[in-house]
Structure 1
Amino acid sequence: MLNPPAETPTLPSIEKMNFGTKLAYGAGDVGVAIVEILLLSYLSPFLTDVARLTPGLAGWTQLVARVWDAFLDPVIGIMSDRGNVFGAKIKAQWGRRYPWMLLAAVPFGLLFICQWLIPFPASNQWGLFGFYTVVSMFLGIFSTMYSLPYTALTAELTEDYNERTSLNSFRFTFSLGGSIVALLIARTVFQQVKDPAQQYLTIGIICAIISVIPIFYCVWGTQARAKLVNRLQSARVEDTVSLPLTAQLRSVFTNRAFMCVVGIYLCSWFSLQLTAAIIPYFAVSWMGLKQADSPLIILAVQGTALGMLSVWSKISQKVGKKAVYFMGTGFWIISQAGLFLLQPGQNLQLYLLAILAGLGVSTAYLVPWSMLPDVIELDELETGQRREGLFYSFMVFLQKICLGVALAVILQSLEWTGYISPTATVLAPIQPPAVLLAIRLAIGPIPTISLIGGLILAYFYPITRERHQQILLQLAERRKEL
């Protein structure tokens, strides 16, 4: 596995992507990254500690919104594959993906701001529950309308095995950079603004503005490349996705390579997102840190992950995607297991473990999304159809269901074990031992087990660099015959 790949036949290809196209594509993930990291890290404590929603209802509002969002993903994915939703004229000018991205941009930002409003007093629990659930559902709609077509562009901008890894390294450099910017903004606001409600609303407004602008830059900077690929690969007919939905689902879930990638992605991102969601509670309730310190922990993870993206990308070109995933996840497992053993006051060890986790988190960003376009080409070889939107949507669909259930269970466990919400006079109440154990289990053993599952699935992933080259050669031969 560690030897350099053998020489493979040259494929008919177009000119490689220039730096400007990669830069524009990468910038497109900034907004989604900012919104995701803030929702993951701070929506739960905002709902329980500031809006004063009970942990149980806070968990239910996130579960309902994420399940709704998850079931919406395949619908939008299939519709964006067909490409005729907005009419032939708009499709001819903008392609299959870009109309969705442009339509979603502004509502996406406005709804993110609404997520941090407090429209009812704490006594009106069902009013708060209804408001946050509806806002989250609509935010999910517009987030999906943008993010699914955006991620599906990876397979449409290049077919090159290594260039896809490079493209995703640009994407996740901006993604991690956006996360870091959001966390720095959050820390600054937490330090400068005293009122908790104003803290979160200020963060929401600033980050919403920053999130929307890169969407338009991404469309502007990548559209010419996407048109060029579609024109030169004219044998690939965009509107061939005509199988009935049940037949499409059957072929997707019997695709061994896809199920391996889905499993790798689920295990990695479940661990990442569950940890991000529980860190604010872990930092304050177990480690005894201040609220403004929790962004620093996540910054240590994200900053390390950002710095390692280019390193892992270069290593991947020599040893392959699977080997890189094994390396990074090994560091990550050590970190997650270590977090469970930490004791209050061991702050230096906490940050060292966060840095160690960042080594693995970087591969969670890079590897699954680099594998998926290869799976899409295998599917095209087997079915004769291009279904990027379907594959991307079902990958995210399963992840959102899994995360929604996990967040609901974690928050419900806090309520069952007697979580005490902060007050104006007691900002960090001493939590019962059962609450502290629930928090530690959520940050240590549960993510560790999930990561081990990801390693097992990565071992069985069947598409090597050589196999991918064979797939592309067979596709090229087929297109010549058409």
Structure 2
Amino acid sequence: MAGKTLGFIDEELSEETTPLAPEKPRSGKRKSSRLKLREKICYGLGGMPYQLTNTVIGFYISVFLLDTAQIKPSSASAVIFAGRFWDAITDPLVGYLVMKTDTRFGKLKPWMFVGAPAASVLYFFIWYVPDFDQESYLMAWYLLFYCGFQTMLSLYYMPYSTLTFYLTESQSERDSATLYRMVCEVASNLLGNLVMGQTVLAYTKGYERPSCDDNSTLGNTTSEYREQEERGYSVGALCLCAVLLVSASCTLIGTTEKKIKKKDNEEEQNFFKGLRMVLTFKPYLTLMFSFLCLLLSVMTIQGNYALFIKYAMKEETYQNFIIVIIFFGFALMPLWQLFLKKFGKKAALFVGTLANIPMFFGHAFLPPGNTWALYLFCVLAGNAVAVVMLVPWSMVPDVIDDFVIKTGSTYEAVFYSFFVMFTKMGAGCALAVSTLALGASGYESGACAQPESVQLTLRILVSAVPMGCTVLGFIALAFYPITEEQRKKNKTILEIWRDDKDERRRTTVLRSKEARDRTRSVRTYSTTVVM
């Protein structure tokens, strides 16, 4: 079943064939370059920690900080934004440290060995509520452990994402190992939300949430219910930490990091020159702006959905709705993969995003009590996740091909690193601004109900705001210059260059292919939701 569901990933990873592409030999692989099944499984399990932890943070951190830890919206906003911003800027630093590392234990695994245990400990304390009297201490607590966790997770995940290149020199084996990784990451997204959501439900099941006084709009939750909720989050985090350690240990023990020899004639490229060229390249700018707008639309919904269901829709078991979103987010990806192959990537992004419009209107006008209608809108929210996770990332290689043809240079690392960095910063801004808006509308941390102004704000945050971001994304996408016809033309040109007698052109194309092989393992579709 997993193979059929995720087979589209293997197609996306494989090289696209055109009439000029030479037929690949069916044999000729050296036996020593093949990975054992055990190694592929152990490598795939190593992708779970990042998705497992950050997907839970994306859906639950706002409701936890506001209702369970009971800190003010402004403080929660500062914690969320600082954590996301810190995560974005630490990635290049960790990448630089890894690049300069060379020990007898390997280049990557020493960092992974340090990062995984430290990240698991710090992650637990993100979901722990200390007994502090002053809110400033609470804010400092969560800020410290959130930023510390993101740093340690980067120490683990950045080397791990590069490990594919050091497992084997066979590209087909690297692609196969990446497929195992993607399957594990899909499973970890579902597992993380199941564990955290159902654990909190199990601990609060026998303690009904208190009703507000009839004469008052607001009332505080009882200390007994809150203690059970705190315990549920702590136990759920402890379970996720255990999964993190086990999966990371499997990768550290079950895989072998090989030394890769550098080619003597490999040219050094000027980073700042490449940065200027990439950030002034029109196709990249239009795609990145469109992607950021569409991502902000999805992230605004994701970060506020638990509060929206809880207070605007009056549903207590918001955890079940989140699971539906995650499930359909991945279940619909193969359908959109088939669509973009038949009709093109730009058309897939347009059509897939247009399908979200009924969801926006439903969030704005659906009255409380319509549980099954809300589940239907969760399916549409899952569709939004699927489209944004799949299509824009598959368009980045097309931009790079166009860049290689027009400039004769290859800066894949710059393209992808800034794409990821702006993605993380955009997600942080979406959650931080949303939390500030709730505070401005009168949100009361720990209250059993919220005033109508907060309910209205929550409806706006999951309807009007994502609608506006989607419109801006559509406008930017209309100026995206690489059509399906142009994309295929670029592929053919690169094939001609590869077979050209001009050594400079051959070197450019080969260097581009090698760089793409190195970054291919980083381009997982599940990365978008982590953030």
Q: Shorter-chain-normalised TM-score: which range?
A: 0.7 to 0.9
Question: In structure 2, what is the Cα distance between the partners aligned to 1:465 and 1:438?
Answer: 45
Q: Counterpart amino acid of 1:306? A: F
Match of 2:312 among 286, 294, 300: 286
Match of 2:143 in 1: 133
Partner of residue 300 from structure 2, selected from 248, 258, 274: 274
- Indicate the residue corresponding to 1:400 in structure 2: 424
| Aligned-partner residue type, residue 118 of structure 1 | V
Q: Would the alpha carbon gap of residues 196 and 77 (structure 1) be closer, same or farther in structure 2, given more than 3 Å must change?
A: same
Assess if the C-alpha contact under 8 Å between 2:112 and 2:155 holds in 1: yes
> 8 Å contact 1:337–1:448 — kept in the other structure?
no
Residue in 2 that maps onto 1:48: 66
Partners in 1 of 2:496 and 2:111 — Cα distance?
32
Contact 2:497 2:509 in 1 (8 A): no
Q: CA deviation at 1:465?
A: 4.2
1:115 to partner: Cα distance: 0.7
Paired residue for 1:338? 362
Question: Which of 244, 247, 264 does residue 211 from structure 1 map onto?
Answer: 244
Please give the alpha-carbon distance, in whole angstroms, between the structure 2 residues aligned to 1:374 and 1:236.
27
Which one of 41, 56, 75 corresponds to residue 38 of structure 1?
Answer: 56
Deviation at 1:406, TM superposition (A): 2.3
The answer to whether 1:68 aligns with 2:86 is yes
8 A contact 1:107–1:142 mirrored in 2: yes
Q: Is the 8 A contact 1:333 1:451 kept in 2?
A: no
CA displacement 1:249-280 (0-9 Å, x = unmatched): 21221233433442343233322222121011
Q: Cα offset for 1:288?
A: 0.5
Q: In the alignment, does 2:269 pair up with 1:259?
A: no
Measured against aligned partners, the alpha-carbon deviations of 1:417-468 in whole angstroms (never above 9, x if no partner) come to: 1112335xxxx32x22211111111111111222333344444152724424
Judging changes above 3 Å, is the alpha-carbon distance between structure 1 residues 179 and 88 closer, same or farther for their aligned structure 2 residues? closer
SS in 1 for 2:128: coil
2:497 aligned partner: 474
Checking the alignment, whether the CA contact within 8 Å between 1:309 and 1:366 is kept in structure 2 is yes
Name 2:528's counterpart in structure 1: none
- Distance in 1 between residues matched to 2:165 and 2:336, nearest whole Å: 20
Contact 1:105 / 1:212 at 8 angstroms: preserved in 2?
A: yes
Letter in 1 for 2:466: P
Partner letter of residue 101 of structure 2? F
Shift of 1:106: 2.1
Distance 2:177 2:492 in 1: 18
Equivalent residues of 1:169, 1:366 under 8 A apart: no
Checking the alignment, whether the CA contact within 8 Å between 1:53 and 1:128 is kept in structure 2 is yes
- The answer to whether the aligner puts 1:449 opposite 2:468 as a matched pair is yes
CA offset at residue 5 of structure 1? 8.7
Asked if structure 2 preserves the Cα contact closer than 8 Å seen for 1:168 and 1:369, the reply is no
Query: What is the Cα deviation at residue 151 of structure 1?
Result: 5.0
Instruction: Name the structure 2 match of 1:176.
Output: 186
Task: Tell me the distance in 1 between the aligned counterparts of 2:465 and 2:169.
Answer: 37
Query: Quick check: 1:282–1:440 contact (8 Å CA) kept in 2?
Result: yes
Aligned counterpart for 1:412 among listed residues 410, 427, 436: 436
Q: CA deviation at 1:154?
A: 8.2
Matches within 5 A, 1:33-432: 33-77=51-95, 80=98, 83=99, 85-87=100-102, 93-94=106-107, 100-121=111-132, 123-150=133-160, 172-194=182-204, 195-217=228-250, 237=266, 240-243=267-270, 245-290=271-316, 293-376=317-400, 382=407, 384-385=409-410, 387-388=412-413, 390-422=414-446, 428-429=448-449, 431-432=450-451
Matched-pair contact (CA < 8 Å) for 2:408–2:508: no
Change (3 A) 1:297 1:379: same
CA distance in 1, matches of 2:438, 2:345: 38
CA pair 172-272 structure 1, distance change in 2 beyond 3 A: farther
Contact 2:278 2:415 in 1 (8 A): yes
Checking the alignment, whether the CA contact within 8 Å between 2:494 and 2:509 is kept in structure 1 is no
Give the distance between the partners of 1:220 and 1:263, measured in 2 at CA. Answer: 41
Looking at structure 2, the residues matched to 325 and 69 of structure 1 have their Cα atoms a distance apart, in angstroms, of 28
Q: Could you tell me how far apart the structure 1 residues matched to 2:161 and 2:476 are? A: 23
Q: 1:17 to 1:257 in 2, by over 3 A?
A: farther
Structure 1 stretch displaced more, 390-399 or 126-135:
390-399
- Structure 1 gap segments, 5+ residues each: none
CA distance in 2 between partners of 1:375 and 1:144 (Å): 27
Q: TM-score, normalised by structure 1?
A: 0.80
The worse-fitting range, judged by mean Cα deviation, of 25-34 and 137-146 is 25-34
User: Helix, strand or coil for the counterpart of 2:332?
Assistant: helix
1:127-172 deviation line (CA, Å, top 9, x unaligned)? 11111111111112123334445556789999999x98x9987655
**Is residue 148–residue 392 contact of structure 1 (8 Å, CA) maintained in 2?**
no
Report how far residue 77 of structure 1 moved.
4.2
Q: Does the 8 A contact of 1:56 with 1:415 survive in 2?
A: yes
CA apart distance, 1:89: 5.7
**Greater mean deviation of Cα atoms: 128-137 or 104-113:** 104-113
Write the distance in 1 (CA, Å) between the matches of 2:329 and 2:508. 40
Percent same amino acid among aligned pairs? 23
Residues 11, 472 of structure 1: 8 Å contact kept:
no
1:197 deviates by 1.1
Provide closer, same or farther for how the CA distance between residues 18 and 256 of structure 1 changes in structure 2, counting only shifts above 3 A. Answer: farther
Displacement of 1:114: 1.5
Query: Which shows bigger deviation, 411-420 or 68-77?
Result: 68-77
Inter-CA distance 196–88: structure 2 relative to 1 (3 Å threshold): closer
CA deviation after TM superposition for structure 1 residue 353, in Å? 1.1
Structure 1 window deviating more from structure 2 (331-340 vs 212-221): it is 212-221
Aligned partner of residue 464 in structure 1, secondary structure: helix
Question: Structure 2: how far apart are the matches of 1:66 and 1:270?
Answer: 14
User: How many residue pairs were aligned?
Assistant: 454
Deviations 1:92-128 (A, max 9, x none): x55xx6655454222222211121122342x311111
Q: Deviations over 1:160-212 (max 9, x none)?
A: 99x98x99876554433222112221232123213111111111111122134
What TM-score does the superposition give when structure 2 sets the normalisation length? 0.73
Deviation at 1:318, TM superposition (A): 3.5
Contact 2:299 2:430 in 1 (8 A): no
Give the aligned residue type for 2:307: Y
Partner of 1:10: 22
Q: Show the counterpart of 2:215.
A: none
Q: Which has the larger radius of gyration?
A: 2
